[in-house]
Homo-oligomer: A and B are copies of this chain.
């Protein structure tokens, strides 16, 4: 069992402020924690598991605590806790290094944690290994981001940087962005390399950022819907980007 103080400490990490202060975040559920244990990218601080959790190596590890279901429910961020919860250290900052001939995603002020998690998962599916978030984006250590990324946060590098600074320092990077007045995505040619910029849920790509984008595209619409969800626009444009590259091979 664990102490009341430990319970309180874990609960405090449900809030962003305390995660940032402690440089710790929460990862939950059998599947994602098992992937976490196999990953080298994050250092585990401590683990809390119920009897049902079936990992012998883990149960004998340092800082692993068996708890009852009631305690797990107390420390969990989920409505239906799933056997195990890990506290994980924030990554050491590895500086962002630009590589030519690669595809990147940049997110301009994405606020919804479900969207960020889904974007990370989709980006990994399509072979993206680095996502650049503007500093106003929701932090990826938010429990809802972790859950909706389905483990992809363990493999995709995520940086929080000033987008304008990057665009200023690399003026030759092809930048692609979605705009209502953009070219028809199905009729335009996309460079193999560059950055696809996705704007915020409510305001799209910000004015400052849009000034740097040479390639403005639009996912054609055929109905009365006013917009696409940001994670959907990301997936549709990224898929077309990969399809065009695939066709050139």
Contact = CB atoms under 8 A, between A and B. Distances in A.
A127 B186 contact: no
Contacts of A226: 150-151
Contact of A243 (B127, B148, B240, B242): B240
A181 to B, nearest CB: 17
A224 interface: yes
Interface in A170-198: 185-186
Contacts of A223: 123-129, 152, 155-156
B222 A242 contact: yes
A229 interface: yes
A225 interface: yes
Interface string A218-235: 011111111111011001
Query: For chain A, which range describes its interface: under 10, 10 to 19, 20 to 34, or 35 or more residues?
Result: 35 or more
A114 interface: yes
A95 interface: no
Interface in A91-116: 114
B224 A155 contact: yes
A121 B228 contact: yes
A246 interface: yes
A225 B118 contact: no
Interface of A: 114, 118, 121-129, 148, 150-152, 155-156, 185-186, 219-229, 231-232, 235-236, 239-240, 242-243, 246-247
Given A151-B225, A219-B239, 19 more contacts: A118-B229, A125-B222, A125-B227, A125-B228, A127-B222, A127-B223, A129-B223, A150-B227, A151-B226, A155-B225, A185-B243, A228-B235, A231-B232, A232-B232, A232-B235, A236-B236, A236-B239, A239-B239, A239-B240
